[in-house]
A and B are shown apart, each in its own frame.
Chain A
Amino acid sequence: MRETAVATVEQLESWLETFTEFAKNAAGQKLPWLRQLREDAFARFCETGFPTTRDEDWRFTNVAAIARTAFRPASPAKLTDLASWRIEGVAAQLVFVNGRFAREWSQIDGLPKGVTVASLRERIEQRPAEVEEHLGRYADTQRDPFCALNTAFIGDGAYVHVARGVVLDAPIYLLYLSTQEDGPTVTHPRNLIVAEDQSQVAVIEDYASVGGESVVFSNAVTELIAGESTVAQHYLIEREHLKAFNVQTLRIQQGRSANVASHSVLLGGGLVRNNVHPVLAGEGGECLINGLFMGTGRQHLDNYMHVEHAAPHCGSRQFYNGILDGHAHGVFHGRIVVHKAAQKTDAKQTNRNLLLSDDAQIDTKPQLEIYADDVKCTHGATIGQIEENALFYLQSRGISELEARKLLLMAFAEECVDRMHSTVAREHVARLVSQHLLFTEGIMSKGGTGRELERIVEEVG
């Protein structure tokens, strides 16, 4: 068994050593269920290794650069000032620096009764039974090696619990920062969000870098459990530097009549894979899967949707907009699975893309697997350029070409931004997108910077 594993997993020794070391001091390692969960997941990872492009789910995304790198766990780091990273109007803010909960920068006081926000590590140690009820029950370690790897290394992340009937208007903000280190480092953020029946919650996950650039790999998994008639929103923002690898999995479990929205905004990262996997397990559920990805240089931004309809009378709507410049490569893989029991399913999928350069590339692929006979499933994808007529119209009124391009791109991006319910999240995202466009414009107008970016990314990949 060990020998087969060596054949499939590059850098296995490094992972084994890291895992052995991790297991000595891991939170809750004395809990048999958690130890077992980690060990099983690690064994599964050793069996499968990292996926290759021969795997249908990974056809458009080559993760060899991750597979052949020997990562060590990110080190603890002290940051001096995080004032500029705060956003106004949130109910709570949790900051993680290099994967570790940074209490001094977090703000979790004053939450209403029935809302618990904590570090997962602490929760495992203090209230293991509560965590055991959900942790690892939904994320698919069998099928997804990254998920298995994350589960093997469950250490820290956010724990959010909203009691039955409790409505939390303001979002909970989770900020994951990575700092510059010597050599490649990895973190495995693990989040558990449990919204009990008839509750309401919104969570923002924001991944960013501070200081200089070193190779970092964020391998994150979030399990979001939405009870009956629960309204939950999840926001993912990826804005790390271009040497970052980021693999994200959001696994949503929806109860009866639950209304869940997943919003993803990919701006940064060199190689990003964004997995969104909702399972509509109760009748009458609604799921909105909304996303925006904007790549330039040699960024690779892959969105893998896996929407599972497991109960009747559920609706899902997917809207993803992509803007790609330079040599960027975008992927939208929209898989919809309608189980036999899921009659009267109404599933819709739309992917629109703007390619701003000849070398930018998009792979868009719908994949419908329908086992019920009374369902409605539609999908559509478009690929286009900035419309010359629109550009000329704006210019003919005195608006500069660069500003006109920016306005048109912002309008395209705002289709996605406007679907975000939370004002705090929407404004935060709009600000980041607008800044990102300015940054992209800098690349377009200064050839040197563009080449610089490509060089950096090539070194990584």
Chain B
Amino acid sequence: MSLLEIRNLHVTVGENEILKGIDLTVNAGEVHSIMGPNGSGKSTLAQVLARRDAYHVTEGSILFEGKDLLEMKPEEAACEGLFLAFQYPVEIPGIGNTYFLRSALNAQRKHRGLDEMDAMDFLPLFREKLKLLEMDDKLMNRSLNEGFSGGEKKRNEILQMAVLEPKLAILDETDSGLDIDALRIVAAGVNSLRSPERAMVVVTHYQRLLNYIVPDFVHVLVDGRIVRSGGKDLALELEEKGYGWTEHDTRQPVGARA
């Protein structure tokens, strides 16, 4: 059984159809990259997977480990092992980073029938992950993402992912707005989490991140449809030729021009 199976997914927002029949299969251990120009529906796909209710699924299905993902609330999907690293992490004044993360971990542990972790048990785990992301623990005493720089917010997303250890992680433009040092740290964090049990879907506009997080598969999303799928070389080709190439020549088999 695949970890994630998307079949003929159609999604509308208001009057507009954003996704127009997506098919995608992700197996445990795989890293998929979804690339595409702005407005192609990449973030919509990520948000639908995380069960944001602003999006209306008109057709198709999504199975997560064989279970109907579309029947799940966001918190249920999270507890089942799905994680979305946000493109724009939300600042929430008044809720401490550490407290928030422990609450989230305990909600998930409870769902899985595990004992909740008290502050003493949680701290060593938390410290270890902080070190991995090269984050200052002073940040963690502050409110959730409040006053964080763009890079700090993205690192905090990966930190949360490292603590929550999801089965499927969706990274929504995690590279945008990062300088090269921050990009390396984030990528190292992500790579450390690669394992045969875990899959990742890396949504990105640029190929740059894929130099550090090397995908097994690359899919090109244009105007709500996956127009090409291939190996990691497809990303390089896209970088070279631009998205216009795929839009005008969608029926050409991958590698035909090589």
Interface positions of A (Cβ within 8 A of B)? 387-390, 392-401, 403-404, 407-408, 410-412, 414-415
| Residues of A with C-beta under 8 A to B107 | 397-400, 403
In the assembly, what is the distance between CA of A89 and CA of B83, in Å?
Answer: 44
Q: Is B31 an interface residue (CB 8 A)?
A: no
Interface positions of B (Cβ within 8 A of A)? 50-52, 54, 73-75, 77-79, 83-84, 86, 89-90, 92-95, 100-101, 103-105, 107-108, 111, 143, 160, 164
Asked whether B73 lies within 8 Å of A398 as measured between CB atoms, the reply is: no
Known interface pairs A394-B100, A399-B103, A399-B104. Does A415 touch B78 (Cβ–Cβ under 8 Å)?
no
In the assembly, what is the distance between CA of A408 and CA of B92, in Å?
Answer: 8
Known interface pairs A389-B90, A411-B92, A411-B93. Does A396 touch B111 (Cβ–Cβ under 8 Å)?
no
Asked whether A412 lies within 8 Å of B84 as measured between CB atoms, the reply is: no
Known interface pairs A393-B86, A393-B89. Does A398 touch B75 (Cβ–Cβ under 8 Å)?
yes
Asked whether B95 lies within 8 Å of A401 as measured between CB atoms, the reply is: no
Point out the residue from A390, A392, A397 that lies within 8 Å of B164, measured CB to CB. Answer: A397
A-B contacts at CB below 8 angstroms, number: 74
Across the A-B interface, give the 3 residue pairs with the lowest CB-CB distance, nearest first.
A411-B94, A397-B104, A398-B78
Q: Taking the nearest CB of chain B, how far is it from the CB of A87, in angstroms?
A: 24
Q: Taking the nearest CB of chain B, how far is it from the CB of A430, in angstroms?
A: 12
In the assembly, what is the distance between CA of A295 and CA of B54, in Å?
Answer: 29
Q: Report 12 cross-chain contacts, Cβ distance below 8 Å, ordered by A residue.
A: A387-B90, A394-B95, A394-B104, A395-B73, A395-B78, A396-B84, A397-B78, A398-B107, A398-B164, A408-B95, A411-B92, A414-B94
Q: Taking the nearest CB of chain B, how far is it from the CB of A395, in angstroms?
A: 4
Asked whether A396 lies within 8 Å of B78 as measured between CB atoms, the reply is: yes
Known interface pairs A400-B107, A407-B103, A411-B95. Does A395 touch B90 (Cβ–Cβ under 8 Å)?
no
Q: Taking the nearest CB of chain B, how far is it from the CB of A113, in angstroms?
A: 41
Q: Taking the nearest CB of chain B, how far is it from the CB of A396, in angstroms?
A: 5
In the assembly, what is the distance between CA of A393 and CA of B101, in Å?
Answer: 12
Closest B residue to A410 by beta carbon equals B94
| Residues of A with C-beta under 8 A to B73 | 395, 401
Known interface pairs A392-B52, A393-B86. Does A400 touch B92 (Cβ–Cβ under 8 Å)?
no
Q: Please give 4 more A-B residue pairs, beta carbons under 8 A apart, in addition to A396-B50, A396-B83.
A: A396-B84, A397-B78, A407-B95, A414-B94
In the assembly, what is the distance between CA of A387 and CA of B54, in Å?
Answer: 14
Q: Taking the nearest CB of chain B, how far is it from the CB of A409, in angstroms?
A: 10
In the assembly, what is the distance between CA of A241 and CA of B60, in Å?
Answer: 52
| Residues of B with C-beta under 8 A to A394 | 92, 95, 100, 104
| Residues of A with C-beta under 8 A to B103 | 399, 403, 407
| Residues of B with C-beta under 8 A to A390 | 90, 92
Asked whether A399 lies within 8 Å of B94 as measured between CB atoms, the reply is: no
| Residues of A with C-beta under 8 A to B92 | 390, 393-394, 408, 411
Asked whether A393 lies within 8 Å of B90 as measured between CB atoms, the reply is: yes
Point out the residue from A387, A393, A398 that lies within 8 Å of B111, measured CB to CB. Answer: A398
| Residues of A with C-beta under 8 A to B54 | 388
| Residues of A with C-beta under 8 A to B84 | 396
Closest B residue to A400 by beta carbon equals B75
Point out the residue from A398, A401, A414 that lies within 8 Å of B79, measured CB to CB. Answer: A398
In the assembly, what is the distance between CA of A387 and CA of B145, in Å?
Answer: 15
| Residues of A with C-beta under 8 A to B164 | 397-398
In the assembly, what is the distance between CA of A318 and CA of B191, in Å?
Answer: 50
Q: Taking the nearest CB of chain A, how far is it from the CB of B44, in angstroms?
A: 14
In the assembly, what is the distance between CA of A400 and CA of B77, in Å?
Answer: 11
Q: Taking the nearest CB of chain B, how far is it from the CB of A323, in angstroms?
A: 13
Closest B residue to A415 by beta carbon equals B94
